[in-house]
Structure 1
């Protein structure tokens, strides 16, 4: 049991709840239940779609398609590449697509229309769209009012007839490429099979004839252009060749056998000599640098040829090694400073000085060689600069000459190419060839292509089913009725206590008394029909309430509705009778200060409806009694001590065998209130409820509809929890209920749940 604040109740459509929809899980059972619930709509829509499809088949005119196939002669230029793995030739798709569009062009269509005389064909004229019909009618009316000339009207009419005929004609033509081949399939649809075949063949012949005429005309125009171009290019080629020869003679440029000039050959030789001199200078400089490092002791001899082949240096090196050997021997026998060791050191120094002298002589030779190499290098560079200076002017002339010769060669090659094209064009003009030929002529088809029952009937059925499914989804999504407990919980956070079916009285009430009015029978349903669907539903609601009633305490339950006539009094009365007949201590309070139906019945027929008014003065400050009268009677029978209050209850029970429900009426409340206070009955009711809960375990308070009653909204704050009765939940929407609950404002009340009264839901059959 929780408190609710209805002042800021907000609702939103289930179609707009994107965040909530993401968290919802839809199982196969949900889908099955959805389809089962909307089975009638789906069946009607599917059957309607199938019927409409059948009517369309019966009322549609049969259409036949005749096709003819022609193959295009491939040319080498139309092959763009070849697959290296499979060797398959890849045909340029744009070329084939272009031919497909040419077949469907207006030129081909106009030729076929004129040949077959289709301008007056009613089949083609009837295929006009409604736009063209409207335009034609408006134009005719405009011409009628403007009064155009007859000749212009006739010419315009002929042109419009041709355009209109071409529109209807082309709508029946189909052209497609067969696979990845050069074959084109041309088809024509008509209600007459013979006319379809005749027109398809005429299209193929017109396309072939158009291609031949185009090639012949193109060849003729090309020959004229090539002839003029050939004369012009030949003249330019001759002028370019003469200009190149005159420029060569003017600048004395002599060509060698290998297409190079004499100056260029001499410059190449001088350049080679200069490079060789630079290489020799670099080599001598490297040798001298290595020898200088050797003399200074910064490097080894580096296996220099002059040192390795010098016998004097080799002999001195052998003497140094022998002297070093003797020095090591003397050191092993004598101490440092011995005359023998000093003499050995002097001998080694003398030998090294002799080697350095030899190296100095070799250094002088290297320096002489380096100077000679540098002189040769300078001479070669001087010759190269001289040759370069002399050939600078001729180089510029050679560049100009090269450009002139290139221009002359270009004109010559262009002339030869144009000459070849001219010869080929003349041959094509003399004998033009078509780009395609017919491989399969069209014949009259045996079967129609439209309408096809095998396609239309399933498609129309599926389309009808889809429409029904869409209607069911929209119906389910837009259904905002509050009849679903799950929807109440999701939208408003309100728990559903159950659904009560429509009350259906029996012919024999079973109470043994005179028949009661029909309006009074529902008030004692649990007494007259204890195991009816109505009573069983109320018992289910009571079981839901039992779980929240404290075991050692009491509870005050208010029963209300949005407006009058929703069955709240019936629910309150029968609920109190259920508690009374199950041995619970219960009190029924009529707090409906507007209708006061229970109070009026108590005054006229209290015994008939199983109620008994009690005196408010009888209820005093008594200890809490949770036992019922039957329990007290049992104690008395067993000789157990019974309290004074229990004896009082037992006495009341024995006095009234019918066991009526105690009732506090509206008049009692008003009489007990202060007469000077206009709304004193509310204070009296609040005090009475506080006293009643000490004597009774369950107090059921029947209130007016809260939407138009401020008393009810106030009384709801007195009770422990309220039950909201919806008279017809299938007509009550979530928004309507939310608006009604917002009438409580900021009042904090405990809403136990909602009871859907007068529900038409079928009772589920128990399965064994």
Structure 2
């Protein structure tokens, strides 16, 4: 049981208070519930979108587009855009894009308009964009208030020919489309019109006009180019002649008979330089050998490092004898000792051989010194010859360099002259027979199918736009709708738990005793299942073993709280508990009237506890319990009149203390006491009586007509009272049959009733 201090809180404050404990998230179930809740709005919006699309298709005049294809000929482009030296074709994407813009240019459009006489075409003249329509409407409105505008319009008269042409050109270019096909050199030229034949004729005219204008432009360019090349050829010829004369005059003035003599001098100079380099290399080699042999004789290096020593037969023989003598010395020292005569003789032999090797190395040293002197002498001689040749050639070399520069200049001018002459010949050939860069691939033909309006595109798009609009309206409706549409919103914004949802029921069960005991007549219906769930929630809120007093109230009338109170009592009585109903609705005593008028037909009976003496009341309660079990659970009802009779006759509002006293008396004799209260929004009796109850059930039967703010304001009428609110029961909930797969079986088991 939730005990709350109810005060005047707005829905926004309660929502902000509860947001600290819960995090909002959207699941697929929420989306599906949203679509079901706004199914009608979405269906109507989608239908409206499809209807508007169909209306647009029906009222829109069909248009056709005819396409002509032309190709920029690569072979002709090779002639026009080929590099002269490498032969590379220079055609880039920018050039193709330039051709596309040329096709859509005003010059082509003007020529086609004149050719087809489109200035009198009503299709182009009467069509206008929304901007021109707005400007025209504004101009018409302003003309009504400005008399000078009318005078100016009369003075202006008919539009000029140029104005008509400009207006026609704007409408014509709006119907032309040009695009490149992929990465190829093919251009598609399209024209849109309501007449397919006119569209094909205009597309072909644009293509032919473009090709003719390209050919004319090329002819003019070639003519201007030929004239420029001819003038340039004369200038280059004159410069080439002057350069050749300057070279000859310089050769004669410097006594240079032929260019070949300079080559001979250079060859001699090169040969002597090579010989000098070789002599310097030989000198360095001999000096290195001499230095090495000197180190060997000084004892710094072994004689095996000298190549001459290695290839000398005498030295090799002496080395072999020296090796044999050393081995014999080792043997003799081992056998006879180091001071024996054979050992001393062997040592003398070794000394003699080493002396002979040293003598041979001295001889080789002399040879190396002689070779070094020869190399140095040869190197000095070559240096003298090189200096002599340099002195003779230096003066002529300077003259030859200047002459070479003059001859190179003359040769360059001569080649330029030949190249320009060749270009002039090629240009004159093109001028005599010009070839365009573009040619027709496929001429335009009248199209068989319209391009607009497309039914397969407009209808789905209209359906999607309508559905999107419906979603927007539904979302706006949910955003602005503050009605209590679900228990989740009630729990989130006001903190009230939801105990159950009782479905809408017509109570048309054959043979039943009325709606006040429908829970027993149709035990497997949705109504009964919902009330059983509410009963379980009530039981869980109270400890077992003691009597419970539960009150039922609502915000306004006709929300079904009395019906729910009676059926809840039937459920408790069906479990063998002692149950009594207390009608505390002093303004509209529905249960009292039913108990007094219908009696057992409604499953109710007027409470008789006050008319029986105290000593016989226990026997009467036993008989009441036996009657409930035998006669289909007849519930006693403490009526409004009985409460008022128990009140003090001098008190105006004495029924409230009497109600409190009766409830205290009933606690001694009954297990469950269900009190049917008045609507708390308009009655102070409910707020006063709620303090004597263990808990209150709030029944909401018209939740779609009730906002969160209204319910919060109604609950605030309790003031600072501490009220045990068990929860909220949603009554008269309309459910769809496809949401309840067990609904059919429940209806069959419970009888004929509508949910």
- 1:164 Cα offset (Å): 0.9
Change beyond 3 A, Cα 1:233–1:664: farther
Higher mean alpha-carbon deviation, 117-126 vs 297-306, is at 297-306
Aligned partner of 1:231 in structure 2 is: 234
- 1:219 Cα offset (Å): 2.0
Aligned partner of 2:748 in structure 1 is: none
Higher mean alpha-carbon deviation, 488-497 vs 724-733, is at 488-497
TM-score w.r.t. the length of structure 2 is: 0.71
Give the match's secondary structure for 1:75.
helix
Deviations 1:342-383 (A, max 9, x none): 554454355335434433443344345345545655665676
Q: 1:537 aligns with which of 530, 549, 561?
A: 530
- 1:321 Cα offset (Å): 0.8
Report which of the two has the higher share of helix. Answer: 2
1:467 equivalent to 2:470? Answer no
Aligned partner of 1:579 in structure 2 is: 572
Change beyond 3 A, Cα 1:303–1:531: closer
Aligned partner of 2:502 in structure 1 is: 500
Change beyond 3 A, Cα 1:662–1:463: same
* Number of equivalenced pairs: 703
Gaps of 5+ in 2: 83-88, 648-652, 746-755
Aligned partner of 2:750 in structure 1 is: none
Distance 1:161 1:12 in 2: 71
Distance 2:381 2:718 in 1: 120
Change beyond 3 A, Cα 1:79–1:584: farther
- 1:222 Cα offset (Å): 1.8
User: Aligned runs of 1:455-494 on 2, under 5 Å?
Assistant: 455-456=454-455, 458-474=456-472, 477-478=475-476, 479=478, 482-484=484-486
Change beyond 3 A, Cα 1:71–1:557: same
Higher mean alpha-carbon deviation, 468-477 vs 140-149, is at 140-149
Deviations 1:26-76 (A, max 9, x none): 79xx76x87777666665555555544444444333444455555554335
1:161 equivalent to 2:173? Answer no
- 1:91 Cα offset (Å): 7.2
Deviations 1:137-170 (A, max 9, x none): 778969964977999x689732221011112222
Do 1:588 and 1:663's aligned partners in 2 also have CA atoms closer than 8 Å?
yes
Higher mean alpha-carbon deviation, 750-759 vs 705-714, is at 705-714
Q: CA RMSD of the aligned region, Å?
A: 5.8
- 1:553 Cα offset (Å): 6.6
Distance 2:722 2:276 in 1: 113
Gaps of 5+ in 1: 83-88, 512-520, 619-643, 673-677
1:10 equivalent to 2:15? Answer yes
Higher mean alpha-carbon deviation, 389-398 vs 285-294, is at 389-398
- 1:688 Cα offset (Å): 11
Do 2:555 and 2:714's aligned partners in 1 also have CA atoms closer than 8 Å?
yes
Higher mean alpha-carbon deviation, 106-115 vs 498-507, is at 498-507
Do 1:128 and 1:167's aligned partners in 2 also have CA atoms closer than 8 Å?
no
Distance 1:720 1:345 in 2: 140
Higher mean alpha-carbon deviation, 578-587 vs 382-391, is at 382-391
Aligned partner of 1:351 in structure 2 is: 353
Distance 2:414 2:641 in 1: 126
Distance 2:276 2:683 in 1: 124
Change beyond 3 A, Cα 1:134–1:311: same
Q: 1:759 aligns with which of 702, 710, 733?
A: 733
Q: 2:314 aligns with which of 312, 315, 328?
A: 312
Q: 1:727 aligns with which of 687, 701, 725?
A: 701
Deviations 1:589-641 (A, max 9, x none): 88x8xx766889669968966675989xx9xxxxxxxxxxxxxxxxxxxxxxx
Aligned partner of 2:448 in structure 1 is: 447
Aligned partner of 1:20 in structure 2 is: 25
Deviations 1:318-346 (A, max 9, x none): 22111122123224424555554455445
Change beyond 3 A, Cα 1:726–1:304: farther
- 1:129 Cα offset (Å): 1.4
Do 2:502 and 2:732's aligned partners in 1 also have CA atoms closer than 8 Å?
yes
- 1:757 Cα offset (Å): 1.8
User: Aligned runs of 1:189-588 on 2, under 5 Å?
Assistant: 189-246=192-249, 256-257=259-260, 261=263, 264-288=266-290, 290-291=292-293, 294=296, 304-335=306-337, 340-341=342-343, 343-345=345-347, 347-370=349-372, 372-373=374-375, 376-377=378-379, 405-438=407-440, 442=444, 445=446, 447-451=448-452, 455-456=454-455, 458-474=456-472, 477-478=475-476, 479=478, 482-484=484-486, 496-502=498-504, 504=506, 526=519, 534-546=527-539, 567=560, 571-572=564-565, 574-585=567-578
Distance 1:53 1:582 in 2: 63
- 1:195 Cα offset (Å): 3.7
- 1:111 Cα offset (Å): 1.3
Do 1:580 and 1:661's aligned partners in 2 also have CA atoms closer than 8 Å?
no
Aligned partner of 1:125 in structure 2 is: 125
Change beyond 3 A, Cα 1:361–1:536: same
